[in-house]
Structure 1
Amino acid sequence: MKLHIVPARAGLEWVRLGIRVFWRQPMALAALFFMTMAAMSLATMLPLVGPAVALGLLPSATLAMMVAAADASQDRVPTPALLLVAFRTGKQRLNHMLTLGALYAVGFLGLMGLSALVDGGQFARVYLGGEPLTREMAESGSFQAAMWLSLLLYVPLSLLFWHAPGLVHWHNVPPVKALFFSIVACLRNFGAFTVYGLSWMGVFLGAGVVISLLVTMLSAIGLGAGMAGGIMVATAMMLAAMFFSSVVFTFRDSFDAPHHDHGDSSAAASPEQDS
């Protein structure tokens, strides 16, 4: 497995490919993304351990979208079965993915614990869904400090896990090594990932402006707020699905294509070059 160093302009290409591959199979990719979010939401309802279980599912959910986007880029139709792709590629990879999920849950909850030292846990309770956000709370200096600390700490956590699901799935790399290779790849391609992040910010901001104008027009002609809210939610879900569809291209360009043994069931979902 060899790390590739790509130019900064590759970040913009990753965004373009994510958007393009989404529109190849918009219904399939949007439905799969919705199902992954629904599964995580259901997991949060489990007594006591719900939030931790939901966090532990995020690497598997990310992998499902990566495999689905790889399939769509090769003109294959992603199916709902990909929701379980992390659990159908052998016992060793299954154990690795479960470990990766546990490490992510521990890391994220540790991050929330550090933020609780700043505001007594208000931000953590709001973020994890245990407490509603009020205006007074949002304007609190300690709450804002905890929020910014969480965002700052989430950057290295995100880089650690960015490529890790793909490394486990396609290259059968053990979880701790996958985390190391992931953050090294992100840092070595810092320019490309900076352009990638800024480009997605531009896409989301641009879409927000367009939707705001559309909602204003709908309100002006007397259509209900329910329709406007539905459009905003649908757009947000679609953009999020596009974003997750682009992740596989960051992985594909950062590492060599995997070499599979004969009969390896994960070979069919290899992230080959997009046509």
Structure 2
Amino acid sequence: MKLHRVPARTGLLWVQLGLRTFLRQPLAMTGLFLMFIMGVSVLAMVPVLGAPLALALLPAATLGLMAATKEADRGRFPMPTILASAFQAGRERVRAMLLLGGLYALGSIVVITLATLLSGPAPETAIESAEALLNEPAVVRNLAWQAVLYTPLGLLFWHAPALVHWHGIHPVKSLFFSFVACWTNKGALLVFMLGWLAVFFGVSLVLVLLASLLGGSSAMQVLVFPAASLVSAAFFTSLYFTFRDSFQTDEGEPPA
């Protein structure tokens, strides 16, 4: 296996492939995404250990969605059990994925801690609404620092779950290869992210127009969750293609 350099315009192709594959199996991919979100959210509510465990399972859950995309791309219906693909590949791969998850949880905790330290003291009084929360300078600074600090962490883990699961690469090495692949294809990844920003913006604009026709803010509250779920599921569907086209096997073909 070796790195495959792609032109920047491939980023738009990844967006198109994600949307096309999602539309082949919209109910399955949306259902799997919601199962993933609900599972992580419920686990995060467990006192003390819940949040770190939820973070540790994110790489495995992301791999499950990528495996589902692979099935949908081949014209097959992805079953719910595919979300557990990371834990169905033998004891050695399971241990490697758990180690990768532990590294991700540790990295996330470091990012959150650093962002909290760099953003200054939190508001002393309780904040009751999201709008008031975003008006707090310390909260805005914290979110900005998290966005900045999560970027290198995201690049390290972007391809890592797939490299561990499908190619048996050691978790630490997978982080290195993931970062190098992302940096090599940074143009395509930038176009990919801009493409999805355009999709999110377009959907948001449609929601505003629909809400204005159907009853304003009350209609918006009804429409936001299903629309956000569909677009988010489509985004996660597209992640598989960023991996598939960033690496080649020894025979010169992208990994299946």
Taking structure 1 as the reference length, the TM-score comes to 0.86
Find the partner of 1:152 among 137, 148, 153.
148
Find the counterpart in structure 1 of residue 215 from structure 2.
219
Q: Contact 1:67/1:271 (CA < 8 Å) preserved in 2?
A: no
Is it true that 1:172 corresponds to 2:163 in the alignment?
Answer: no
4+ aligned runs moved over 3 Å, structure 1 = 119-123, 130-137
- The residue number in structure 2 matching 1:251 is 243
Following TM superposition, by how much is the alpha carbon of 1:24 offset from its aligned partner in structure 2, in angstroms?
0.5
Gaps of 5+ in 1: 124-129, 260-269
Mapped to 1, the partners of 2:250 and 2:45 lie a distance apart of 37
Distance in 1 (alpha carbons) for counterparts of 2:151 and 2:206: 29
Q: Distance in 2 between matches of 1:106 and 1:147?
A: 19
Distance in 1 between residues matched to 2:27 and 2:127, nearest whole Å: 34
CA distance in 1, matches of 2:177, 2:121: 33
Measured after TM superposition, the shift of residue 132 of structure 1 is 5.9
Q: Percent identity?
A: 43
What residue in structure 1 maps to residue 35 of structure 2? 35
Q: 1:66 and 1:122, CA in 2 relative to 1: closer, same or farther beyond 3 A?
A: farther
**Which residue pairs with 1:98 in the alignment?**
98
Match of 1:15, SS state, is helix
How far has the Cα of 1:69 moved from its partner? 0.5
SS in 2 for 1:76: coil
Give yes or no for contact 2:2–2:249 (8 Å, CA) kept in 1: no
Q: Deviation string for 1:226-245 (max 9, x for gaps)?
A: x5423210010010000000
Which letter does structure 1 place at the counterpart of 2:179? I
The answer to whether the 8 A contact 1:118-1:142 is kept is no
Residue 174 of structure 1 aligns with an amino acid whose one-letter code is H
How big is the shift at 1:146? Answer: 1.9
1:64-100 Cα deviation digits (max 9, x unpaired): 1100001000001100001211101001110011011
Name the SS of the counterpart of 2:83 in structure 1. helix
Secondary structure, counterpart of 2:16 in structure 1: helix
Do the aligned partners of residues 131 and 137 (structure 1) sit closer, same or farther apart at CA in structure 2, a change above 3 Å counting? closer
Q: Which residue number in structure 2 is paired with residue 229 of structure 1?
A: 221
Which residue, 181, 191, 210 being the options, matches 1:185? Answer: 181
1:156 is aligned with what amino acid?
A: P
Whether contact under 8 Å (2:6, 2:246) holds in the other structure is yes
1:197-208 aligned within 5 A: 197-208=193-204
Deviations 1:127-173 (A, max 9, x none): xxx98665444223232222211100111000000000100111010
Of 136, 139, 143, which residue of structure 1 is paired with 2:139?
143
Residue 113 of structure 1: aligned partner: 113
Q: TM-score, normalised to structure 2's length?
A: 0.92
